[in-house]
Structures are given as C-alpha cells and as structure tokens.
C-alpha cells in the first residue's frame, strides 16, 4: 500500500466525487477539514499517518500547507479543478496525484469519512475542529503566538483513538 499519501491525492479523491454526492461545491475550508478528519481517523484506527506531510494549526483551523498553496488563488470560492504535481517528463504541472486503486482499505476509510463529514458545511466542520480539547485547539493553546505550527501526529492519534473507543462503548 502507498500510505502515507501525498495530501493532493487525498484531496483529489474527494474532489472527484460526483457533484450530487458532494452535496455541492467543496471550498478550500471544507477540503482542509475533510482531510484533517481522514488523517485523524487513519491515525486513530490504524496507528499510521494518512498524509506524507504534517497538518498545521493555523489561526482559523487545521490546514495542510501544500493544499493551501495549491488552491489559495481561489480564496473562499468553490474548488473547480484537481490538485496537480510537477511532472519532470513533461515539464508541466500535469501529474494528478491519486489514491492507489488497489488500496481498498484506505478508500473504504475515505468513503466512511465522506459519508459522515461530507454532508456537513465548512462552518460546521470548522466548529468541530475548534472544540475544546481537539488537536487543533490544544496545539493553538500551547503555541498562542505562533502563526502556524505542526499539530503532532501523536496528539491527533490519541484524540481519534479515544473517539473510536467512545463510539465502541456507546458514549
């Protein structure tokens, strides 16, 4: 399996969902939150990171830096294209990162995250990531004057492992 993945591959997984299944357009804010939850659940359930880069605690929520830079020109507008990487063979940004078709376990996890979090608005997802005790809020609390700081994977893993345990126990 190809875990951990380039964050752009995970982004494209969600951006390739058909429009009705997406519940409308995906903005950058919603995409960052979806990917944060996918990464978190992957850590919490499998004990290994989904992403090959760190999620950072920015002032307004968790952000994957490479995705921010990929789509920053869109601002708060819906994302209307896929994320790309530079391809040395063609000397252009035309390589489209993707989840390995044979990685059914990761696809199943991403689909489950989509089923649960996809219908929520960007604002609802943002409120959830900002809850007291969340990895984002704890990282911001411990680093109040730092504009962007890595959210430690062990903190994310612990948080989602606890959530999984609470879900199993019905609490």
Asked whether residue 112 carries a pLDDT value surpassing 60, the answer given is yes
Higher pLDDT residue, 127 or 3? 127
> Alpha-carbon distance 56 to 64, whole Å?
6
Residue with tokens 């760190």: 54
pLDDT of the residue at 21: 62
47-68 pLDDT, tens per residue? 999 999 999 999 999 999 999 9
**Residue 118 and residue 112 in contact, taking contact as beta carbons nearer than 8 Å:** no
Contact between residue 155 and residue 135 where contact means Cβ atoms under 8 Å apart? yes
Q: Are 64 and 35 in contact (CB under 8 A)?
A: yes
* Residue 106: both structure tokens together: 């990761």
% of residues, the chain, pLDDT over 90: 78
Q: What pLDDT was estimated at residue 23?
A: 60
pLDDT of residue 20: 56
Domain boundaries, the chain: 7-163
> Average pLDDT, stretch 141-159?
96
At 3 the pLDDT is: 80
DSSP H or E segment with residue 85:
strand 85-87
> pTM of the entire structure?
0.92
How large is the average pLDDT for residues 137-148? Answer: 94
- What is the percentage of the chain residues whose pLDDT exceeds 70? 94
């Amino acid at each position: 399996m190809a875990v951990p993945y380039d964050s752009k591959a995970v982004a494209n997984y969600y951006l390739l969902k058909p429009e009705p299944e997406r519940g409308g357009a995906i903005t950058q804010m919603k995409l960052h939150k979806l990917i944060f939850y996918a990464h978190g659940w992957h850590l919490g359930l499998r004990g290994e990171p989904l992403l090959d880069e760190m999620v950072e605690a920015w002032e307004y929520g968790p952000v994957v830096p490479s995705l921010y830079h990929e789509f920053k020109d869109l601002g708060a507008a819906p994302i209307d294209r896929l994320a790309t990487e530079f391809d040395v063979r063609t000397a252009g940004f035309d390589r489209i990162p993707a989840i390995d078709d044979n990685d059914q376990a990761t696809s199943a996890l991403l689909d489950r995250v989509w089923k649960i979090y996809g219908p929520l608005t960007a604002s609802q997802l943002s409120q959830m990531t900002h809850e007291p005790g969340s990895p984002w809020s704890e990282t911001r609390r411990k680093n109040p004057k730092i504009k962007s700081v890595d959210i430690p994977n062990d903190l994310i893993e612990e948080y989602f492992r606890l959530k999984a345990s609470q879900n199993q126990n019905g609490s």
